[in-house]
Structure 1
Amino acid sequence: MNNGESWRKSSYSGAEGGECIEIAEADGAVWVRDSKRPAEAKLSFGSEAWDGFIRMAAQG
């Protein structure tokens, strides 16, 4: 992942900031980071794993 990523915040993030995550898609993976600490650790998930996570999260 290079510094030219296109990060976007969760659609559930409020305008005032706070507890937000950001995601970016690159190199066949989905990257996740804490919006308050963008320079720190990032997690990477394969597309299939991310899709499974989203499906499970939507089910509650």
Structure 2
Amino acid sequence: MLARRVHAEPPYVMTGGVAHNIGAVHALSDALKSEVTTHKDSQLCGAIGAALLGLES
């Protein structure tokens, strides 16, 4: 798992449309042995980040 290879530490946040899949969130939480936070608009995170980068250039 990538999180282990890069020595990631909590808190963990899951973004993207798959964050609406409660089974995927629970599976990741179980694998990390830690809570995984999501947001109701998680599918927009990439677009919001791209828009913010666009504003800077």
If asked which structure has higher relative contact order (CA below 8 Å, sep 6+), I would say 2
**How does the TM-score come out when normalised to structure 1?**
0.31
**Higher strand share goes to which structure?**
1
Specify which structure has the higher proportion of helix: 2
Structure index of larger Rg = 2
